[in-house]
Amino acid sequence: MFQKDLISIHDLTGADVATLFTLAAGMKARPRDFRSALSGKILAMIFEKSSTRTRVSFEAGMTQLGGAAQFLSSRDIQIGRGEPIADTARVLSRYVDGIMARTFAHDTVLELARHATIPVINGLTDLLHPCQALTDYFTMSEKFGKLTGFKLAYVGDGNNMAHSLMYGGPKCGVDVAVATPKGYEPDATVTANAHADATAAGTTLLVTHSKEEAVRGAHVIYTDVWASMGQEAEQQKRVRDFAGWTVTSELLALAHPDAVFMHCLPAHRGEEVAAEVCDGPRSVIFDEAENRLHVQKAILATLMDRP
């Protein structure tokens, strides 16, 4: 059973994820059956970081479920101008039925969840991106028909995307390999938690500095931008540090013959991924983008359709 909030995939069970995916598949196949699932419900969407996919998918999802969404940038509300996060959580709990927050500091989302009496969804923090990772595993299950026994390889910065994929693997029965340049490894606490989850689930987690080792035999090759939002000042240094880490056709050739390429977008062709891979026949990046809508609708309905 889901908790009140969705902050991290680490908090979920494998059964939670499987139930969520079943609901998402039903919503994707039969959207009209769910048109009133959240009738009269309102989602407050707090954005410290801008986003195409997060804003549009959550707003469209609430509308398709019969509810409404309110966009709240840090310029629109007092949370960005000195009001305690706890007060914002308490006030919004009196007005709306759920909060989705896309923030820089992970503590912001934790604080919102701690003081809100309504569900809080982590739309992205600098530490985690659970909605995207759940979408990625859902997309993987669509492509291969199942998840157990498959392998996902992540190549690039050990960032929030890598963290959530590491947490998601054990919940889905997927082996995960993460390859980063030296100095860009995943967070040590997340790695320890993910290793423990993998051991409990009977899956494997590899963290390495060899992209070839990570990719060999993988069914999904995943990458992300080298400099995430808020790291623009590091762009040139990261371009130098990540030289040779582009996902190319040659790297893809080391993967399983049926392997697909994934990216959470936006993609910088010629940096973290070659254009022929990003736009090639094995790329499923736009299927992922679409599935954000369906998976997030399932999350919204699961958390907000409660007394």
Residue in this structure with the two tokens 């007394």, named with its chain if needed: 307
Is 102 labeled as catalytic in the residue annotation? Answer: yes
Q: Which is catalytic among the residues 132, 136, 175, 219?
A: 132
Is 264 labeled as catalytic in the residue annotation? Answer: yes
Instruction: Kindly tell me if the per-residue pLDDT of 271 is higher than 70.
Output: yes
Is 172 labeled as catalytic in the residue annotation? Answer: no
Q: What is the mean pLDDT of residues 237-253?
A: 96
Q: Which two tokens stand for residue 89?
A: 């959580």
Is 292 labeled as catalytic in the residue annotation? Answer: yes
- Confidence bin at 229 (pLDDT 50/70/90): low
- The whole-number pLDDT of residue 249 equals 98
Is 224 labeled as catalytic in the residue annotation? Answer: yes
Instruction: Kindly tell me if the per-residue pLDDT of 215 is higher than 90.
Output: yes
Instruction: Kindly tell me if the per-residue pLDDT of 25 is higher than 70.
Output: yes
Question: What tens digit of pLDDT does each residue of 127-170 get?
Answer: 999 999 999 999 999 999 999 999 999 999 999 999 999 999 99
Strands (E), 80-138: 98-102, 120-124
Question: What tens digit of pLDDT does each residue of 114-125 get?
Answer: 999 999 999 999
- The whole-number pLDDT of residue 228 equals 75
- Domains (range + CATH), the chain: 9-128+291-304 (3.40.50.1370), 132-288 (3.40.50.1370)
Lowest mean pLDDT segment, chosen from 11-25, 205-219, 229-243, 269-283: 229-243
Q: What is the mean pLDDT of residues 168-188?
A: 98
Q: Which is catalytic among the residues 10, 129, 238, 263?
A: 129
Measure the CA–CA gap between 198 and 171, rounded to whole angstroms: 8
- State how far the alpha carbon of 108 is from the alpha carbons of 145, 186, 193, in Å: 37, 21, 21
- Confidence bin at 1 (pLDDT 50/70/90): low
Measure the CA–CA gap between 150 and 142, rounded to whole angstroms: 13
Q: Which is catalytic among the residues 102, 163, 219, 238?
A: 102
Instruction: Kindly tell me if the per-residue pLDDT of 79 is higher than 80.
Output: no
Lowest mean pLDDT segment, chosen from 25-29, 74-78, 200-204: 74-78
Q: For residue 98, which phi and psi values (nearest 5 degrees)?
A: -170, 155
Average pLDDT, the chain: 95
Measure the CA–CA gap between 124 and 141, rounded to whole angstroms: 23
Name the residue among 178, 171, 130 with its Cα closest to residue 296.
130
In the chain, pLDDT over 90 holds for what percent of residues? 90
Measure the CA–CA gap between 61 and 65, rounded to whole angstroms: 6
Q: What is the mean pLDDT of residues 256-274?
A: 97
Q: Which is catalytic among the residues 131, 172, 264, 278?
A: 264
Measure the CA–CA gap between 159 and 89, rounded to whole angstroms: 27
Lowest mean pLDDT segment, chosen from 72-76, 80-84, 285-289: 80-84
Is 129 labeled as catalytic in the residue annotation? Answer: yes
- Confidence bin at 233 (pLDDT 50/70/90): confident
- The whole-number pLDDT of residue 80 equals 57
Q: Which is catalytic among the residues 5, 136, 175, 224?
A: 224
Residue 205 burial (CB < 10 Å; 0-12/13-18/19+)?
Answer: buried
